């Protein structure tokens, strides 16, 4: 796990934390310029509760790194346009008090301010930011460890399911064979029942003819009895 000293000394470790600009507001409110994007050197100094000279020295020593993380220096026409845009965004009273740099203006983004927090040694606010970063990293690692443990448990359960399915395969095969055999037997039964139905239909016809002959015989016997009585 990274330590505060390692964070101060290692550019690679600082680069890993560059996305955690939300930590700044957890420590202290960072007052931005009217565009909501930039902060002047004076604003950075107020945030870290140090002098502007301290911020300037840190910026000079690590200029390349800070430029890669959003530091800008405006001059000439670019500076004039920026001041004009800031004044147009300034709402309410006090626009005339907006500080306009005469020759150049150094601007920091939230990402740049976070970078300064990982470089500035003599600031309690910067130390608090670094503490938040390191605690968040520890929590993140603990979360990853917990997630990995849960994934391992799921994998173990799935392995057990796989074994059970392998054991169940032959059983399902035998059941399928028995069901096929039962289907064949039912088909034969249907055929036998069909044949019996046909034969019963023939028997019914024979019984009907026999009934007719018996009725005729009964009539003949009655006629014969009448004749004998005469």
pLDDT digits (tens, 9 = 90+) for 105-114: 999 999 999 9
Residue 188's pLDDT is what? Answer: 72
Distance, CA of 46 to chain centre: 39
Residue 187's pLDDT is what? Answer: 80
Structure tokens at 99: 């500080």
Nearest to 71 by CA among 118, 22, 44, 107: 107
Residue 226's pLDDT is what? Answer: 79
Among the residues of the chain, which ranges form H helices? 4-9, 11-16, 22-27, 41-48, 52-61, 63-68, 76-89, 110-117, 124-229
By percentage, how much of the chain surpasses pLDDT 90?
43
Residue 124 predicted with pLDDT over 90: yes
Task: List pLDDT tens digits, range 27-44.
Answer: 999 999 999 999 999 999
Higher per-residue pLDDT: 160 or 87: 87
Question: What CA–CA distance (Å, rounded) separates 108 from 46?
Answer: 13
Residue 22's pLDDT is what? Answer: 92
By percentage, how much of the chain surpasses pLDDT 70?
76
Residue 165's pLDDT band, with cuts at 50, 70 and 90, is: low
- Contact (CB, 8 A) for 134 and 3: yes
Residue 159's pLDDT band, with cuts at 50, 70 and 90, is: low
Question: What CA–CA distance (Å, rounded) separates 159 from 149?
Answer: 15
Task: List pLDDT tens digits, range 166-203.
Answer: 777 777 778 777 877 777 887 877 776 676 767 766 76
Residues 6+ apart with CB under 8 A from 71: 59, 63, 106, 107, 108, 109, 112
């Amino acid at each position: 796990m990274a330590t505060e000293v390692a964070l101060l000394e290692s550019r690679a470790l600082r680069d890993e934390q560059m996305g955690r600009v939300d930590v700044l507001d957890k420590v202290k409110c960072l007052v931005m310029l009217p565009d909501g994007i930039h902060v002047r050197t004076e604003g950075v100094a107020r945030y870290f509760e140090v002098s502007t000279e301290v911020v300037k020295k840190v910026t000079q020593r690590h200029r390349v790194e800070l430029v890669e993380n959003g530091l800008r220096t405006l001059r000439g026409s670019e500076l004039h346009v920026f001041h004009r845009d800031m004044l147009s965004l300034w709402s309410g009273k006090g626009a005339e008090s907006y500080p306009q740099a005469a020759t150049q203006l150094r601007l920091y983004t939230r990402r740049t301010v976070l970078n300064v927090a990982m470089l500035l040694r003599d600031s309690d606010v910067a130390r608090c930011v670094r503490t938040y970063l390191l605690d968040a990293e520890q929590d993140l690692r603990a979360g990853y460890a917990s997630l990995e443990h849960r994934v391992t448990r799921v994998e173990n359960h799935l392995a057990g399911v796989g074994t059970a399915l392998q054991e169940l395969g032959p059983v399902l095969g035998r059941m399928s064979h028995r069901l096929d055999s039962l289907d064949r037997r039912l088909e034969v039964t249907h055929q036998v029942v069909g044949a019996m139905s046909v034969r019963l239909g023939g028997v019914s016809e024979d019984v009907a003819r026999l009934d007719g002959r018996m009725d005729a015989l009964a009539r003949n016997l009655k006629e014969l009895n009448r004749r004998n009585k005469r």
